[in-house]
Amino acid sequence: MTAAKESETMRVMVLVKATPDSEQGFRPTPEATAMMEAMGRFNDALAEAGVLIAGDGLKPSSAGKRVAFDGAARTVIDGPFPNPTELVAGFWLWEVADMDEALAWARRCPNPMPGPSELELRPLYEAADLA
């Protein structure tokens, strides 16, 4: 990203919060297939607008691991992890003008889950923020 573009835009991490359904893993039902097709169209729109930097879905936490730090000690914790609604099922990295633009895109997003779900939008630190 150029210095000029960096000052005109911000990067936002959009976290797709997990649900008990997403923690069961992907099952190719007709509903899931329709949801994936809608999400594909949304991703295409993000890409065409120059907003999408990266994005993907994550496998359930049962396929994951955590590394806990305590000083020099490291402990590996195997999934699955408790509290699905505190986990992440997928993500996007967007480049937008401001949080209002990110919210406008988020409001256009198809529901990424079969039931109630949430997106969490978090701006990334930029070099200027740390100076």
What is the rounded CA–CA span in Å between residue 28 and residue 19? 17
**Percentage of the chain exceeding pLDDT 70:** 95
Q: What's the predicted TM-score (pTM) here?
A: 0.88
The answer to whether the CB of 94 falls within 8 A of the CB of 51 is yes
Note the pLDDT tens digit of each residue in 26-76.
988 999 999 999 999 999 999 999 999 999 999 999 999 999 999 999 999
